[in-house]
Structure 1
Amino acid sequence: MAKADQLLAVLWLLRSRSRMTAEQLAEQLETSVRTIYRYIDALCMSGVPVEAESGHGGGYRLPPTFRDAPLFFSIDELKAMVHAGQFAEQAGYPYTEPLRQATGKMQSRLSDEQAEQLQRHTTGFEVMQPSAHRVSESILQEIERAVASGSTLSILYEKWKGSDPEERRVDPYGLVNRLYKWYLIGHCHLRDEMRVFRADRIAGASLTELTFVRPASFSLREFMENRFDLWHDPAADKPDQTVKLQGEPHSIASICDNWYMRDRVVSHSQTDVTLLLTKPTFEGFFPRYLLSFGKTIRIVEPVELRRQVAELARELADYYGDGA
């Protein structure tokens, strides 16, 4: 462990206990008492007011005023960081291992009381997100490095799953996680325009020696919002029809992944989804869309939608039943 980490570990231990002897600190950090003395001297020289008490029951401690310094985290702050780590990991965050190490360092320096309190807040908290669009951490890390360094990327991109990858040169402006998917946004050299690339379709990525400068005024959020707004119908500003569906996981995932439907998902699990639709979509496109799923989807509500789909099915049965 680096010296800076060890110094911070000493602070955490003194913060979580009322006082500790050099021998106790050495045992906790698996080092020598002589090394602990050097750490204490280094902390004092850097301005940390470590107090030493001699005699029986003595040891090192931090004064109450310093124990409340912003350097340390409250239980709510620790809980928030652990929960955020769970969200990040389920979203496919490319640096999950360093994140685990960071939260592990914090948790390892807690007192028994703090550790027990944190466990109560985290044991009953889980984050579960679809894994169908997982992206290799190494690819996301390479993209992130290219964004940070302003380096042009060479990527192998599949236009659709299963197609032969094509090489593209891209100036990466950023990574966006949207509705459980990662997207690379950047200037495509082949098309000479801004493009959006699904990260789960990138088979390989490597930095080139070319560099670029991202416009200071460019906003990833604004670009993505404008991009998807182009696909909305004019009446989409006021969706007012709630639809609840149940079905097989692959069909629910297909609905949630649909380029048009994904922005209308209110909530979903592996076997159900709730959508908020506009009236034109509900009365026109949607019943026909659901018909394509056959018996793998069941309409929970509204009843009106079930009637519409049933009527369409009868019309098809009559049409093909007559041998037309």
Structure 2
Amino acid sequence: MRADRLLSLILLLQNRGRMTAPELAAELEVSLRTVYRDVEALGASGVPVLADRGPAGGYRLAEGYRTRLTGLTDAQAGSLFLAGAPGPARELGLGADLAAAQLKLQAALPAALAGRARRIQDRFHLDAPAWFREADPVPHLAQIAQAVWDQRVLHAHYRRWRGEVRRELHPLGLVLKGGIWYLVAGVEDAVRTYRVARFLAVDTTAEGFERPAGFELAAYWQESTSRLDAVLHQQTAELRLSPRGQRLLPMQFGAAGNRALADAGAADADGWVRVLLPVESEAIAVGDLLRLGAEAEVLGPPELRRALAETVAALAGRYARPTT
């Protein structure tokens, strides 16, 4: 809408001071010709936009002029909850709303608070995805988010590790965990979690649904992740860790590694300690523990120690052979 764009142009000049036409075009995602037309339209309507010539020139508002047309739309107000995560806001289709909402908020703040807000934005940034991992492609995220908001039934084509399935879903909420989007949805009188990147196709229907009485997304997610952790970590490994291994453990095993170290016994003469670490199934635990290399020794359970020994022996044999 042109009216929204004109207001955004005024707010940009009000919040940032002098800006060039190319800068305004980049912020508003329009052409230079559109910026020139918009500035001319603002001048004709009585907004005192001044043009300064020369290398240091640009557009600015006349001294003392401030607009109070800072009402937020519903979408812009909602997008403020994602103000610390512009990437996820973009994925949800709220990137433009977030930018406009932030401009309006800055314009409405007293000068001292607006300056503080800008300093915070300059000094702190939230980057949700984990290191060394590409973000999931989520082409259906915006459509799913709209269905969550509108409480519309989804017909979904989903890829599981055992094959593809088709489901009728009641989308209850979206969760961003470690840079990965998950949909929490009702299906067949149960609530389940789906990884958004695994949706092959979604179709939003005109049919609405009622949310389960008393359902709270945050409470469900906490209970669900706790249950998953209990299912995954069904056994405990006893390890000896070198001083370097003690530094590596939290890096490789996160909070579980930190808890294990907090309960560690006294170090021996060489600085090695014994810890108890919750691990997943034997096959997964072998791969996870090998990341500690020679800085760890598995003492038990016996079957896990034996599996590590067999894997290490196979690796030693393979690397002992000359390459061809």
Please report the TM-score for the alignment, with normalisation by the length of structure 2: 0.54
Alignment-mate amino acid for residue 226 of structure 1: E
Cα distance in 1 for partners of 2:177, 2:93 equals 18
On the 8 A contact 1:90/1:127 being kept in 2, the answer is no
Residue equivalent to 1:203: 200
The alpha carbon displacement at 1:6 in A equals 1.0
Residue 13 of structure 2 corresponds to residue 13 of structure 1: yes
SS in 2 for 1:186: strand
Match of residue 220, structure 2, among 210, 219, 223: 223
Residues 152-201 of structure 1, C-alpha deviations (whole Å, 9 max, x = no match) = 001111221xx43211001111111123322111111xx33211112222
2: CA distance between counterparts of 1:244 and 1:220? Answer: 35
**RMSD over aligned Cα atoms:** 5.4
Cα 1:307–1:37, aligned 2, differ >3 Å: closer, same or farther? closer
Give the AA of the match of 1:167. Answer: R
Q: Tell me the distance in 2 between the aligned counterparts of 1:211 and 1:6.
A: 37
- 1:23 is matched with which residue? none
1:60 aligns with 2:62: yes
CA distance in 1, matches of 2:226, 2:181: 18
The answer on whether the counterparts of 1:157 and 1:167 sit within 8 Å (CA) in structure 2 is: yes
- Match 1:30 to one of 31, 36, 43: 36
Report deviation, 1:229: 2.3
Match of 1:308 among 299, 304, 317: 299
- Greater shift, 199-208 or 148-157, is seen at 199-208
Deviations 1:37-74 (A, max 9, x none): 43326xxxxxxxx799xxxxxx83335xx58x7959xx
Deviation at residue 292 of structure 1 after TM alignment: 1.9
Aligned to 1:140: 141
Question: Matched residue pairs, number?
Answer: 245
CA drift at 1:212: 0.4
Measured after TM superposition, the shift of residue 211 of structure 1 is 1.4
The offset of 1:213, in angstroms, is: 1.9
Measure the CA separation in 1 of the matches of 2:205 and 2:95: 26
Given that residues 291 and 313 in structure 1 are in contact (C-alpha distance below 8 angstroms), is that contact kept between their aligned partners in structure 2?
A: no
Matches within 5 A, 1:1-324: 2-14=2-14, 16-17=16-17, 29-31=35-37, 35-40=41-46, 60-62=62-64, 84=83, 87-89=85-87, 93-95=91-93, 98=96, 102=100, 122=122, 127=127, 129-130=129-130, 131-132=133-134, 134-136=136-138, 138-160=139-161, 163-188=162-187, 191-215=188-212, 217-233=214-230, 244-245=247-248, 265-266=254-255, 275-277=258-260, 282=276, 285=279, 292-293=286-287, 297-298=291-292, 305-306=296-297, 308=299, 312-313=305-306, 316-317=309-310
Tell me the TM-score normalized by structure 1. Answer: 0.54
Letter in 2 for 1:143: I
In 1, the alpha carbon distance for the partners of 2:196 and 2:279 equals 29
Query: 1: distance between equivalents of 2:40 and 2:179?
Result: 51
Task: Please name the residue that 1:259 is paired with.
Answer: none
Structure-2 separation of matches of 1:292 and 1:98? 46
Alignment identity in percent?
A: 15
Structure 2 alignment gaps of length 5 or more: 19-31, 51-60, 72-79, 108-113, 234-238, 240-244, 265-274, 315-324
Conserved 8 A contact 1:51-1:62: no
CA distance in 1, matches of 2:165, 2:280: 34
